Amino acid sequence: MKEFICQECQKKFDREKFRVGHKYCSIECFFWSGVNYHRKGCWPWQKRVSKKKGYGTIRWQGVEVAAHRVGYAAWHGHKSLGDFGNIYNTCGDRTCCRGDHWEESSR
């Protein structure tokens, strides 16, 4: 078994557990590779954005998820994207992935 180095966190990982060609050890590392988090204010998603709704999207192991949901989960310590309900944006930028710019909706 050949080990690979994650391009984001530099940890070794077994690529066989993931789709062939992955450069990242987890969805979190893939997420952080697409966010400009070295700036004040919003952290815009730098990769694929849905033309229909304007949100950043991540395709991970054949499933498409909203980038801001991954950011919200990472920021608030959720282990799964199913640990919380709908979230809404407080800054007005749909590409923003900064966890404290999103809040859980009671609707």
pLDDT in tens, 14-30: 776 655 457 888 888 88
What's the Cα-to-Cα distance from 73 to each of 4, 15, 56, 101, rounded to whole Å? 26, 24, 15, 12
Q: What pTM was estimated for this model as a whole? A: 0.76
4 and 26 together in one domain: yes
46 and 89 together in one domain: yes
55 and 29 together in one domain: no
Total number of domains constituting the chain: 2
53 and 102 together in one domain: yes
What is the per-residue pLDDT across 59-90, written as a single tens digit (0 to 9) for each? 877 788 899 988 888 888 888 788 888 898 89
70 and 84 together in one domain: yes
55 and 27 together in one domain: no
Domain of residue 107, residue span? 38-107
